[in-house]
Chain A
């Protein structure tokens, strides 16, 4: 990870456009930022606790909690009051204790305390969970050397300098210096997936000097002194010295075992602790996940701001009014000479100012205090109960449910417009399976790829899953079934010799290492790429079992060759290996049969193989090419196989040149390539293989659904361009009907300049080239956009070009171009570029972005996007730890976005607008009253009414809506993905929506105030008695509570019994409250004493209670009726279409409906499938060593060992004594 930062810094050293990047991903880079080194170093005395004592190293226990028992209250409260709304209410509360206030402090204190209480309980609960988590980690057990014995102690008791033993599959409890291992040459294998998500094994090697300290007796003799750097967060660096017996030995990262990694293939190791607890590199890397806020919430802030503005205006009007009104002539107000300032007519300005404050406290209810806490609760339940427990997002194979790691972003999921996806592990399983092949012009293999199935289904054909023959073999990397080839039956095929060559080519031409037992069942193949392993596995299953490799020999156990069932071990001498690289795109092996036959086997991309074929045999070439195209469009990765018989003379003369080239000091690679050219020609085509880069389940369907929802999907991958394009085909992101723009740095012109080696010139040239390409593409894209039925556009760009395209001067063009494309594939991109592309769209296009990935290389992208999704269930945790949501499968995005995201968005929109409405309405009734009280700021409602309005009488129903409201069922949400577009356009929380609500608020509040007061002016029962202020206000309040609660029912799309209970309960709560409150004799004021009973003894009460809510809701009702009838939302139409269906019970039935196409759809699909005049995709792709070492080698960064290195090492180690023949 530190490498990323180096990428940055090295670029800026080159003086290129680094300033432009500095700003954009600033947040994301925090991950990789190497902290400044603390000066000095630490000295550790191994195995000597006393000596280490004075330094007071930190213990190994970790704590990720925010609070402890004592800091909880002060710190928690502080956190709470950092929220503007809470602080505001604190100030209002304080203000309301002064005589300025028209209301009793209780009015504001009660809601505030309730809100704080709920928030603090939530904080405490979350912190408790963190605490428990820490405890489990801290109490893990590890063997520590004590008194010449291994004692099992818990992790937290570990100290710097301790000698520990970690057993096979154990996890390192702290950062260790590797001393000794049970493996003979002091190596051990570790898995770093917890750190970086890479599952391949890495080698660590102890210093030879310490190999012996393996047993407790020996280890206790170890008295080393370690001088090393201070703790830092750079995972791949370590500098230090080990001083043993006055001998200073340098320590490198190779001797460091980091906390969190686990030991593999090694019985146990012994190590000395150097960094503990929070000082370990992995903990230093643990970032505070930058807390993201949803776009909607940011918009909500603006709304709150607008409310503050409204509040200010209202107060200002009142204040001016009060200054004008106040006058001695109102003798009954007792405005004598000694009157207090607030009412002193001599100083009207002061009166107005003080009234301003009075009114602020009076109208404080306009700011919905419980809004934030309600939303928080809703989102919390949404994520913990709905997202985490959704059975549709539970992956049974890996036993992984979905996990919402933050509850902040639920509604953001409903507005995503761009998805940035990693490829390996996300779209694909990183599992290559031999799927089909073409031998001598004949296609074998009966499987149907996912993409073919998808195509067929769209054509309306129901594909019968070809029943697998009973004896079909399924091996890891082999998913092939054809009775014509299996179990030796290939001998009956028309061309058994070609078949034999085909299988031998597979078995011989590779760089794979077998591991484990030499039996077909138990062997495992170590290969640089899973492709190769799949091919060798295929050979094994065809009866050509490659079981042993020495540096010069390959041993193959061949069956069925001569006779059915006969098995013979054949050894082939490997004379030369012409390795694979991305320019050659092929790999050859020259081998000698036991009978002396010299053959060159070659496999590679169709383009390079075909141009090196011998003349003749055009039929097979033509047929094979067709097959290749067929495979390619089915999303398979293809390789062509060819061979050439060599005469000893030809070979010998060539081999001399080869040896020369191999030993040359300058341009060795280039020379080797040139030499290879000399022999790799005149090839005979054998056939082609098709490997399925196994997609994750349901990926094409999911992508299809998402793109119907209007979401654009970009694939950002470290893979090569061919692989990336291939996967894009397989995922249906690109098809032959699309216009593809490919911007690649692998052009001859660029290569030529690169060969000259002048860095500045290269940069300039590539930049020019990229600029030209971009402009050309953009022009073409715009041309296509203007034509009505132009093809869809796709952009493919590689990392090197992207680096220049992201330059500030070109960024706009890139953005314009890519936004016009319906899919974009970026290959060969570094983690940092992934983040840059993400923020390009996030900031440049101001669209909501989602990144999904599974590995450490996706972390920056995940953090850069609005929403980060990690793929969980596999070993790597880095992506998940950085993500906001973790799901087990890419296809669960459908549920996450289209169902949960959409619902959350709808619900939160409703909750927010409703809160806005109910508080505005309530406050406005007060406002109208102010006009009739001489602007004195007299409160209309009793203190308790006002304080409980938000927290009791209208609190629960809106939460119920936030939880349960759904416009259409989950299955319909997925059936009509287009509904999702409403969220993207932010249809439900636009200023227009707010304005409509505000309008109804004003209308309703006017109805409440004027209807109730006007109708109350005369006597109200046959006793002729008259109502006073508190009677009228209680009446008005009753109307408000009833109306506001009923209004809630009107915004519901589905009404469960919880709605009834909460709405009915809220209204009932009000009546219960007032019944009790009316008979309580409070010591101070008894304004409301008996009021409700008086009211309820009159007809007036019931007549008003019927009239006012209906009048108030009439306007809304008309609006809703008209809106639905004339300007229906999409979801409303869908509701209508499915109005007779029961709820989700019939999910499976609905699926069948989903397969049927309307004639219109069928036709347009048919058009899209028509062939176009572009060369067809043939699907060549082959993984060479992964992107990381690619970048590393480019920039000179230390990169961890790759699998191939491991394998090569292993082979050297196990067979060290074989005589060299060459």
Chain B
């Protein structure tokens, strides 16, 4: 019925003089030394997930998350964003059945002028992004097709191990920057004007500082770039060191998903609501072969960054869900209470036949 027999001689908490017969001389005694660790008596807190705790936790999360969600959503709402998808729009009607011929020919006129209306006041700076869809910058073959050593310093020029097929020219000279990523550099360009007044697009400070300073050398100049038969994308001015080629730096920071935005530049002028901006797009980049989309995005930023409702909505949903759960737990608690620590819930008390011995 009890545990007396089992515990009586073991002794309590390490008092060495409690056992019936005196322990053999200290030296020979194999009596284990008492420590809280070996006796597994380390002080511990023993949390019990009572309904009270569950309800409290849900309520706290709910109360915490809903305001955060509101703040995020509010911040996101304040961001003004103009998105213009142009890959189909900017193909002349007579080429619409043969877009590849249009984009691959060097003779066709790639210029495409459109007018965008500013929906709301846009505080400066206004960021210009291009967004590509269905472009697998995270493809394994693509991601590794670069040479960080080469990009960083002139000395590493010949480090092109991962770069093929864009490693060398036909004559065997190394291409700088080598690899598929650089080769496929995005080459659509955008020009903006407001009421016939050209808006300056600043390309300064669009790449991460760390990339610019550490990954791309100031003594590395493009060499043999886009000199092969097949042109993948933009060409680079071979008189500007890579560290200054911010378009390239932005492009080289490969995106995580096949749909991605990249910073193109910024307009250091605020735009008023209902103003019409004229955009001149040089539609050079071939996304047509693989059915990719191209979008031009003008956006302001807030502390949260660009327009992003996801976080706000997620916070709100989770917060709401938690409050809902808290309420349902309270209801269930009222409808079907279970007294805490009721021995009748012990399995052997529920079917008493197996109990007595």
Residues of A whose CB lies within 8 Å of any CB of B are: 102, 327, 329-336, 338-339, 343, 358, 385-386, 388-397, 399-401, 454, 457-458, 697-702, 704-705, 707-708, 710, 788-789, 792, 822, 891-892, 894-895, 903, 932-934, 936-938, 964, 966, 970-971, 974-976, 978, 981, 1011, 1013-1029, 1031-1033, 1052-1058, 1081, 1083-1086, 1089-1090, 1093-1094, 1098-1100, 1103-1104, 1106-1107, 1110-1111, 1114, 1117-1118, 1120-1121, 1124-1126, 1128, 1130, 1132-1139, 1143-1145, 1147-1148, 1150-1151, 1154-1155, 1157, 1160-1161, 1164-1165, 1168
Contacts and interface: CB of A to CB of B under 8 A. Distances in A.
Contact of A1133 (B2, B11, B214, B346): B346
B10 A393 contact: yes
A1094 B210 contact: yes
Nearest to A335: B141
A966 B2 contact: no
Given A981-B347, A1124-B49, A1090 B1 contact: no
Interface string B305-347: 1111011001100100110010001001000101011110111
Contact of B138 (A707, A1029, A1098): A1029
B208 A1090 contact: yes
From A400, A708, A938, A1086, residue with most partner B Cβ within 10 Å: A938
A1017 B214 contact: no
Interface of B: 1-14, 19-21, 23-24, 28-35, 37-51, 54, 57, 61, 65, 68, 72, 125, 127, 129, 135-143, 145, 148-149, 164-166, 180, 183-184, 205-208, 210-211, 214-215, 230, 232, 250, 253-263, 266, 286, 289-291, 299, 301-308, 310-311, 314-315, 318, 321-322, 325, 329, 332, 336, 338, 340-343, 345-348, 352-357
B185 to A, nearest CB: 10
Contact of B305 (A336, A936, A1098): A1098
Contacts, number: 383
13 contacts: A327-B290, A331-B289, A390-B38, A391-B14, A395-B9, A701-B3, A938-B138, A1015-B310, A1024-B263, A1084-B149, A1103-B304, A1110-B61, A1139-B340
9 A-B pairs with the lowest CB-CB distances in the bound complex, closest first: A698-B5, A1154-B2, A392-B10, A1136-B341, A1018-B306, A1090-B210, A1019-B306, A701-B5, A389-B32
A832 B261 CA distance: 78
From B2, B43, B68, B325, residue with most partner A Cβ within 10 Å: B2
Contacts of B211: 1089-1090
Given A1128-B345, A1155-B1, A892 B314 contact: no
B3 A705 contact: yes
A1027 B170 CA distance: 35
Contacts of A399: 23-24, 28-31
| B contact patch SS | loop
Contacts of A976: 346
Given A334-B166, A1024-B306, A1055 B45 contact: yes
B266 A1024 contact: yes
Nearest to B312: A1103
Contacts of B127: 1019, 1024
Contacts of B41: 1143-1145
Given A702-B5, A1015-B308, A1016-B256, A964 B138 contact: no
Nearest to B252: A1028
A892 B8 CA distance: 11
B256 A1137 contact: no
Contacts of B256: 932, 1013, 1016, 1027-1029, 1031-1033
From B31, B45, B72, B139, residue with most partner A Cβ within 10 Å: B139
B57 A1117 contact: yes
Contact of B7 (A389, A971, A1168): A971
Given A705-B6, A1110-B318, 6 more contacts: A333-B136, A932-B257, A936-B141, A978-B355, A1084-B149, A1164-B356
B258 A932 contact: yes
Contacts of A102: 140
A457 B4 CA distance: 11
Contact of B39 (A390, A1019, A1157): A390
A392 B40 CA distance: 12
A1019 B142 CA distance: 23
Given A698-B6, A1086-B215, A1139-B48, A707 B54 contact: no
Contacts of A788: 353
Given A1054-B46, A1110-B61, A1121 B5 contact: no
A832 B210 CA distance: 77
Contacts of A1083: 149
Contacts of B259: 1017
Given A395-B9, A705-B6, A1058-B42, A1107 B315 contact: yes
Contacts of B24: 399
A978 to B, nearest CB: 4
B10 A1099 contact: no
B264 to A, nearest CB: 10
Contact of A1024 (B183, B305, B314, B336): B305
Contacts of B40: 386, 903, 964, 966, 970
Contact of B30 (A334, A401, A700, A971): A401
B305 A1114 contact: no
A332 B32 contact: no
From B3, B38, B42, B341, residue with most partner A Cβ within 10 Å: B3
B263 A1111 contact: no
A1145 B13 contact: yes
Nearest to A965: B44
Nearest to B54: A1121
A333 B138 contact: no
A958 to B, nearest CB: 17
From B9, B205, B308, residue with most partner A Cβ within 10 Å: B9
Contact of A458 (B1, B5, B258): B1
B49 A1120 contact: yes
Given A336-B165, A937-B140, A1019-B305, A401 B32 contact: yes
Contacts of B33: 389
Contact of B205 (A391, A454, A1023, A1161): A1023
Contact of B342 (A331, A1133, A1150, A1157): A1133
Contact of B311 (A895, A1015, A1055, A1084): A1015
Contacts of A936: 136, 138-141
B180 A334 contact: yes
Given A334-B165, A1110-B61, A1100 B305 contact: yes
Contacts of B31: 391, 394, 396, 399, 401
A363 B291 CA distance: 30
Given A970-B40, A1055-B44, A1103-B311, A339 B6 contact: no
A1137 B349 CA distance: 14
Contacts of A390: 10, 32, 38-39
